[in-house]
Amino acid sequence: MTDEYRHVPVMLAEVLRELDPQPGETVCDCTLGGAGHSVELARRVAPDGLSIGIDQDDAALAAASERFSREVPEATHRFLKGNFADLDDLLVEAQIPGVDCFLFDLGVSSPQLDFPERGFSYNEDAPLDMRMDSDKHTQTAAEVINNYTETDLIRILRMYGDERFASRIAREVVTTRQKAPIETTFQLVDVIKRAIPAAARRHGGHPARKTFQALRIEVNHELDALDSGLRAAVRWANPGGRICVISYHSLEDRIVKHVFSELSQGCTCPPDLPVCVCGNVPIVEVRTRKPLVATDEEVARNPRARSALTRVAVKLDAADARNKVRPVERPFA
Ligand SMILES: C[S@@+](CC[C@H](N)C(=O)[O-])C[C@H]1O[C@@H](n2cnc3c(N)ncnc32)[C@H](O)[C@@H]1O
């Protein structure tokens, strides 16, 4: 790891146990970051296997490349810059036939929070940016704060931040920006502090935490990307392939749970129909009815692991899937 790119991988032991990468397999880490998980996955599939790493952040890709050369020089790897929402295009372009292990370790990495100029942190004064891929000409957090209607601000603060003072913060944002645009992290922190009652500011962590989280999710379309990326991963997984997702937010976890549950559904016909008429077959088997969580010992070492929720599914092969469905109606048989 480069000195400035330090991120401790979360639930590494559980990820390795659940993905169980074997020599010669292809692994795809859709959130490469500092390669904390990827180097360990790569070690297990090397030298004949392939490690694919995807990230939309140039700094993460550079740090991961450097770490791979130093720690797993024997590993064959391909690093792809892009958003995992475009997984289909990325894997087609890289001519990957199929993948045995997929990992999604969602959100931002510690260095992204620590580099003040990225605008993710409420502890550092910087332009309000928060784009994970700053090459893309997508909207910044400043544009969201200065252009969204009060109603839309309330919506994102409630939905993505679970912020109980959403209305007060949105009102204060609108009042403040009428005088001059809100352009920096500290300007926004001041607005939030003015909006939240003094008594509430003394509890529950930094008063700007939830607003910053909501803005980051909105700016990077994180929830839409997760839904598309996960469905694509299921399509690209080889039969028996494992897909592991670590979420840090209940909305992310809800999407993972929903997608896995939908794709593991077989027949959806009413139970009193003697034969299946819908023809739906399960595509994955869910390994985790409840999400796995980090051990107390890991949480003590790495506070970021506290909110981690890990879900795992396995891609069924066609024969397995057929065994899980009721007989299908054949009208003219
Ligand atoms: C939590 S970090 C991953 C850390 C990594 N597992 C490690 O242990 O070093 C998440 C990484 O995923 C990237 N990321 C988040 N959403 C992404 C997306 N939709 N497409 C591509 N990369 C994404 C971020 O840029 C960040 O580098």
Chosen domain end from 195, 217, 239: 217
Q: pLDDT band at residue 328, thresholds of 50, 70 and 90?
A: low
- Predicted pLDDT of residue 109: 82
Gap from CA of 95 to ligand 1 centroid (Å) = 22
Q: pLDDT band at residue 278, thresholds of 50, 70 and 90?
A: confident
Give yes or no for residue 83 CB within 6 A of ligand 1: yes
- Predicted pLDDT of residue 333: 42
Residue 148 lies in a domain: yes
pLDDT above 60 (res 245): yes
Residue given tokens 């931002």 in the structure block: 108
Question: Is the domain of 227 the same as that of 313?
Answer: yes
Gap from CA of 266 to ligand 1 centroid (Å) = 32
Residue bearing the CA closest to ligand 1, atom 3:
33
- 117-126, 179-188, 224-233: least confident range: 117-126
Question: Is the domain of 299 the same as that of 236?
Answer: yes
Question: Is the domain of 101 the same as that of 42?
Answer: yes
Q: pLDDT band at residue 11, thresholds of 50, 70 and 90?
A: very high
Q: Rounded to the nearest 5°, which phi and psi values hold at 253?
A: -60, -35
What distance in Å separates the CA atoms of residue 68 and residue 65, rounded to the nearest whole number? 5
Q: pLDDT band at residue 4, thresholds of 50, 70 and 90?
A: low
Residue given tokens 């910087």 in the structure block: 126
- 45-49, 255-259, 276-280: least confident range: 276-280
- Beta bridge partners, 276, equal 328
> Which of 55-64, 124-133, 236-245 has the highest average model confidence (pLDDT)?
236-245
Give yes or no for residue 109 CB within 6 A of ligand 1: yes
Task: Report the CATH number at residue 236.
Answer: 3.40.50.150
Q: Is 319 helix (H, G, I), strand (E, B) or coil?
A: helix
Q: pLDDT band at residue 199, thresholds of 50, 70 and 90?
A: confident
What distance in Å separates the CA atoms of residue 87 and residue 32, rounded to the nearest whole number? 13
Residue 147 lies in a domain: yes
Quickly list DSSP for 52-73: EEEES-HHHHHHHHHHHHHH-T
Chosen domain end from 167, 185, 217: 217
Q: Which atom of ligand 1 is nearest to the CA of 84?
A: 20
Name which residue leads in pLDDT, 273 or 103: 103
- Predicted pLDDT of residue 205: 81
- Beta bridge partners, 242, equal 101, 314
Gap from CA of 333 to ligand 1 centroid (Å) = 52
Give yes or no for residue 105 CB within 6 A of ligand 1: yes
pLDDT above 90 (res 329): no
Question: Is the domain of 231 the same as that of 319?
Answer: yes
Q: Rounded to the nearest 5°, which phi and psi values hold at 308?
A: -70, 135
Give yes or no for residue 55 CB within 6 A of ligand 1: yes
Quickly list DSSP for 257-307: HHHHHHHH----S-TT-SSBSS-----EEES-SS-B---HHHHHH-GGGGG
Chosen domain end from 185, 217, 249: 217
pLDDT above 60 (res 54): yes
Give yes or no for residue 40 CB within 6 A of ligand 1: no
pLDDT above 70 (res 3): no
Look up the pTM and report it: 0.88
- Predicted pLDDT of residue 322: 60
- Predicted pLDDT of residue 77: 97
- Predicted pLDDT of residue 279: 81
- Predicted pLDDT of residue 1: 44
Nearest to 221 by CA among 121, 58, 83: 83
Cβ neighbour number for residue 147 with a 10 Å cutoff: 12
Residue 127 lies in a domain: no
Q: pLDDT band at residue 327, thresholds of 50, 70 and 90?
A: low
Question: Is the domain of 105 the same as that of 230?
Answer: yes
Give yes or no for residue 31 CB within 6 A of ligand 1: yes
Instruction: Lay out the sheet containing 76-81: strands in order across.
Output: 76-81, 50-55, 26-29, 99-105, 237-247, 309-315, 284-286
Dihedral (C-alpha) 251, 214, 122, 193: value to the nearest 10 degrees?
Answer: -120
Instruction: Return mean pLDDT, the chain.
Output: 91
Mutate-to-test residue for ligand 1 from 1, 27, 32, 89, highest number of ligand atoms within 8 A of CB: 32
Q: Which atom of ligand 1 is nearest to the CA of 248?
A: 1
Gap from CA of 319 to ligand 1 centroid (Å) = 34
Question: Is the domain of 227 the same as that of 266?
Answer: yes
Residue 285 lies in a domain: yes
92-99 LR contacts (CB < 8 Å, sep 24+)? 94/52, 96/26, 96/28, 96/50, 96/52, 96/236, 98/26, 98/236, 98/237, 98/238, 98/241, 99/26, 99/27, 99/28, 99/52, 99/233, 99/236, 99/237, 99/238, 99/241
Task: Report the CATH number at residue 154.
Answer: 1.10.150.170
* Domain enclosing residue 275, as ranges: 12-111+222-323
Give yes or no for residue 36 CB within 6 A of ligand 1: yes
Residue bearing the CA closest to ligand 1, atom 7:
36
**Quick one: which H or E segment has residue 204?**
none
User: Tell me: the pLDDT tens digits for 97-131?
Assistant: 999 999 999 988 877 777 778 888 898 899 999 99
User: Tell me: the pLDDT tens digits for 58-100?
Assistant: 989 999 999 999 999 999 999 999 999 999 999 999 999 999 9
Mutate-to-test residue for ligand 1 from 2, 4, 56, highest number of ligand atoms within 8 A of CB: 56
Burial of 78 (0-12, 13-18, 19+ CB in 10 A): middle
Name which residue leads in pLDDT, 138 or 255: 255
Count of structural domains, the chain: 2
Nearest to 305 by CA among 293, 317, 314: 293
Q: How many residues make up the chain in this entry?
A: 333
User: Tell me: the pLDDT tens digits for 26-51?
Assistant: 999 999 999 999 999 999 999 999 99
pLDDT above 90 (res 275): no
